[in-house]
Amino acid sequence: MRSVVLAGGGTAGHVSPLLALADTLRERHPGLTTVILGTETGLEADLVPARGYELTPIPKVPMPRRPNADLLRLPGRLKSAVDTAAEAIRSSAAEVVVGFGGYVSTPAYLAARRLRVPIVIHEQNARPGLANRLGARLTPHVGITFASTPLPHATVVGMPLREEIRTLDRAARRTEAAAALGVDPGLPTVLVTGGSLGAQRLNVAFAGAAHRLVETGLQVIHVTGRGKEFTPDAPTGPGRYVVLEYADRMDLCLAAADLVVARAGANMVCELSAVGAPAVFVPLPIGNGEQRFNAADVAAAGGAEIVEDAAATPEWVIDEVLPLAMDPARIERMAAAAAAVGVRDGHARLADLVERAAGERS
């Protein structure tokens, strides 16, 4: 392969697997021209250049859910975005276009179809979004993360994960991770995270329970999301409560933790199961309900529990999360179950699919 165009953005759920694939293709094909399409306002604007790639911005084209002024402007916006994507494909002589969903993928799929360039789709969620439902009609090369995802021509490839996650040995890195985060490697530790944007429901629930958790001897590493940090009301005790606005070393957070309480974004679910981290998932109760479906397989295997958003209160943290975190035998069983369904080579499987599609162009 000599050239590829990757399209996706908006959230870390799209950008992280995109970058994992980009790194894998670059390793396999030194000198590969890699063009990444995204918006100027999504997380990709920061994450893509930070990984050493150039971002080619294309206009954001939201799909209106009901008749309004945006619907009237849709044809012009879509044409502009498709033209921009087509120019990027032409100028780079791309052999294949890979889309990860989100606003930028639909224009990329339509441009590739116009130019007769093979399309590969990767769908992260158990319930696909609008862009990938459209794209799957245009190509036989569809990679999915979860076997239950209802898309035609689908091949289960799993989630492409960052190298620092897919190679993580939690037990071997625990002491190093605890030192870096300022916690005791000998005490039970819970990681709380709401993803790249944080989760106010989890923030409020654990802030309200902080005193009891620390008093009981539990340690908490709480990633609140930018602008959502707080000072915990925690006494001096055997446990500790560490608040981080953002975790740029999630691998260390996972190595230090015995249990994770998190939203159920596809990337989070896959990272935790890949490294064998027991979890309590609190799915975000909006959209098409994909977060609950994302966590279904690992929960069915015994590696995680699923809790309704409305039930995540300080009382729930004290009555349910605390006893679980203090039960090492149960935690160990959950860890083994999570690891049994985890996939660590999603990056390689998706790269194989991309290479097969590019071969058609040749």
Residue 78 confidence (pLDDT): 82
Res 68: pLDDT: 55
Q: Residue 43 has what pLDDT?
A: 81
DSSP letter string over 145-211?
SSTT---TTEEE------HHHHT--HHHHHHHHHHHHT--TTS-EEEEE--TT--HHHHHHHHHHHH
Residue 45 near residue 75, CB atoms below 8 Å: no
Please tell me the predicted confidence (pLDDT) of residue 293.
94
Per-residue model confidence as pLDDT tens digits over 9-29: 877 788 999 999 999 999 999
> pTM for the full model?
0.89
Residues in Cβ contact with 125 at an 8 Å cutoff, skipping those fewer than 6 apart = 13, 145, 146, 149, 266, 290, 293, 294
pLDDT value for 179: 96
Distance from C-alpha of 258 to C-alpha of 39, rounded to nearest angstrom:
37
Q: 104-155: per-residue pLDDT in tens?
A: 999 999 999 999 999 999 999 999 988 999 999 999 999 999 999 999 999 9
Low-confidence ranges of the chain (pLDDT < 70): 62-76, 235-237, 287-288, 361-362
Alpha carbons 335 and 263: distance in angstroms, whole number: 18
What domains lie within the chain, and their CATH numbers? Answer: 3-161+344-361 (3.40.50.2000), 164-341 (3.40.50.2000)
User: Do 1 and 35 touch, CB atoms closer than 8 A?
Assistant: no
Q: In which residue are the tokens 């790269």 written?
A: 351
pLDDT at 361: 67
